[in-house]
């Protein structure tokens, strides 16, 4: 089985490894360097506290790989499990938390519903008086995206995959029975039994080469490395003020990463090659202000060490498209900021779609692109 993968980020490389490990002849085409799209700008969050069963199941299947990553791949990815804490200001959000925790628990996630005072036991700086409820899971955490990317790349190569960087795809060939191959820069045509779209923010462009239209748009997101007024202990969970769209997590030596999803909207016509990779001053001031409203660690004397911007590949319901869209054309795109953490499961599912004709690791029936035409969306509420 000859498989071409478009995109050398974490999803493309996890897919390459899973396919090659099962005997497929795999080539990855990346127009730049590995991970230079979204992966290298990710903060590396890994959580199972999602609001839909399919996202929870993708998380659990992926966590099994992350937990064993160093043993399996020989790479320490600096995986830390200090937990995630979601905090609610609104009664409606708190009611949703109750339903979500029950669903998560049924699926095996050890999350719990907390009152604000109990939440402050996990995050001592939390302004508990501002919140009405919270949820926490001790098995959530984060890892180093760069190290994980290199681990998957090495494992894919060891399994026999070819990884070609600085090699953009310019055309996907589709005949009467489906996709048959692609052409790369330099007019080199390569036949393939399957082409996998794992192009992240460029996914819509790649799909269009196969005469497929998908609602995946790039969304610029920003993050700061902050020296807080009060050091953030390293055992504090990644804390999310869900109703205000703000979050922070500890870094080393009392520093913190501060971000949020209040910064921009997605634009299907935006140029993913031309976005500003630096943080905006107005956004920086707003981010620190919102973090200060959430926890006492932050305030006007917090110092900014550095910051950066990256791109999410966003769908209207914040769930990926994971399917064989037309014969020979598999898509693993639109993860809406969750691509890093769900990459291990996604790679296995891509291999199942290609080699088995259907997915068995997770029920992905809700993640087909036809949902955007039928209106049967699967909305993710816990966007962070």
User: pLDDT tens for residues 57-82?
Assistant: 999 999 999 999 999 999 999 999 99
Question: Do 47 and 154 fall within a single domain?
Answer: yes
Cβ of 354: how many Cβ atoms within 10 Å?
A: 22
Choice among 241-245, 274-278, 316-320, 327-331 with the minimum mean pLDDT:
274-278
Ramachandran class of 285: left when φ > 0, alpha when ψ lies in -120 to 50, beta otherwise = alpha
Residue 269 in this model has a pLDDT that exceeds 70: no
Write down the pTM of the prediction. 0.95
Pairing between strand 112-114 and 45-46?
A: unpaired
pLDDT, position 317: 96
pLDDT exceeding 90 applies to what percent of the chain?
89
Q: Is residue 383 part of a domain?
A: no
Backbone angles phi, psi at 35, to 5 degrees: 75, 10
Residue 272 confidence (pLDDT) above 90: no
How do residues 200-254 score in pLDDT, each as one tens digit? 999 999 999 999 999 999 999 999 999 999 999 999 999 999 999 999 999 989 9
Give the domain extent around 247. Answer: 83-139+217-310
Task: Please say if the pLDDT value at position 264 is more than 60.
Answer: no
Mean pLDDT of 300-325: 95
- Residue 240 shares a structural domain with residue 271: yes
Burial of 293: CB neighbours in 10 Å, binned 0-12, 13-18, 19+: middle
Residue 125 in this model has a pLDDT that exceeds 90: yes
Looking at the structure, do residues 355 and 304 belong to the same domain, yes or no? no
Q: For the chain, what is the domain count? A: 2
Decide which of 283, 310, 337 is a domain's last residue.
310
Q: pLDDT at position 24, please? A: 98
Report the pLDDT averaged over residues 357-371.
97
pLDDT-derived band of residue 271, with 50, 70 and 90 as boundaries? confident
What is the pLDDT averaged over residues 142-146?
96
- Based on the domain organization, do 203 and 58 belong to the same domain? yes
Q: 104 phi and psi, to 5 degrees? A: -60, -45
- Residue ending a domain, choose from 287, 310, 333: 310
Looking at the predicted structure, is the pLDDT value of residue 267 above 80? no
β-partners of residue 86 are: 135, 240
Please, is 253 exposed, middle or buried when counting C-beta atoms within 10 Å of its C-beta (0-12, 13-18, 19+)? exposed
Residues 192-207, mean pLDDT to the nearest whole number = 97
Average pLDDT along the chain: 95
Cα–Cα dist 306/294, whole Å = 21
In a domain, 74, yes or no: no
Place of tokens 């590995």: 34
Same domain as 179, residue 223: no
Biggest distance spanned by C-alpha atoms of the chain: 64
Domain final residue, candidates 310, 333, 357: 310
Residue 261 is predicted with a pLDDT of 83
pLDDT at 112: 98
Place of tokens 């045509």: 189
Q: In terms of domains, do 236 and 180 share one?
A: no
Residue 69 inside a domain? The answer is no
β-partners of residue 178 are 175
- The sign of the dihedral angle between the CA atoms of 82, 84, 89, 92 is negative
Buried b (16+ CB within 10 A) or exposed e, 150-184: bbbbbbbbebebebeeebebeebbbeeebbbbbeb
230/291 same-domain check: yes
d(CA 164, CA 143): 26
179 and 315 Cβ atoms separated by less than 8 Å? no
Q: Are residues 245 and 287 in the same domain?
A: yes
């Amino acid at each position: 089985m000859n498989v071409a993968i478009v995109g050398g980020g974490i999803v493309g490389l996890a897919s390459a490894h899973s396919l090659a490990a099962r005997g497929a002849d795999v080539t990855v085409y990346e127009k730049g360097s590995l991970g230079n799209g979204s992966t290298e700008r990710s903060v590396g969050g890994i959580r199972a506290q999602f609001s839909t069963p399919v996202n929870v199941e993708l998380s659990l299947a992926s966590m099994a790989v992350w937990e064993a990553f160093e043993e399996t791949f020989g790479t320490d990815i600096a995986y830390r499990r200090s937990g995630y804490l979601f905090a609610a200001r609104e009664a409606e959000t708190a009611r949703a938390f109750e339903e979500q925790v029950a669903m998560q628990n049924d699926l095996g996630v050890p999350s719990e519903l907390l009152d604000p005072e109990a939440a402050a036991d996990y995050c001592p700086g939390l302004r508990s008086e501002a919140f009405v409820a919270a949820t926490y899971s001790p098995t959530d955490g984060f890892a180093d995206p760069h190290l994980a990317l290199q681990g998957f790349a090495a494992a894919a190569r060891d399994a026999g995959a070819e990884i070609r960087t600085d090699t953009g795809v310019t055309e996907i060939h589709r005949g009467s029975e489906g996709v048959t191959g692609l052409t790369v820069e330099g007019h080199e045509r390569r036949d393939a039994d399957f082409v996998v779209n794992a192009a992240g923010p460029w996914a819509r462009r790649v799909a269009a080469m196969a005469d497929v239209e998908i609602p995946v748009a790039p969304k610029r997101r920003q993050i700061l490395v902050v020296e807080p007024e009060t050091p953030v202990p390293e055992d504090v969970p990644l804390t999310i003020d869900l109703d205000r769209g703000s979050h922070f997590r500890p870094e080393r030596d009392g520093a913190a990463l501060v971000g949020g999803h209040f910064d921009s909207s997605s634009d299907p016509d935006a140029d993913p090659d031309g976005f500003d990779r630096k943080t905006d001053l107005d956004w920086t001031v707003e981010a620190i202000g919102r973090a200060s409203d959430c926890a006492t660690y932050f305030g006007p004397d917090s110092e900014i060490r550095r910051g950066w911007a990256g791109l999410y590949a966003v769908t209207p319901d914040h769930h990926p498209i994971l399917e064989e869209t037309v014969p020979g054309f598999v898509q693993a795109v639109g993860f809406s900021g969750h691509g890093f953490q769900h990459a291990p499961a996604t790679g296995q599912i891509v291999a199942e779609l290609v080699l088995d004709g259907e997915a068995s690791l997770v029920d992905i029936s809700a993640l087909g692109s036809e949902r955007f035409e039928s209106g049967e969306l699967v909305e993710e509420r816990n966007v962070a």
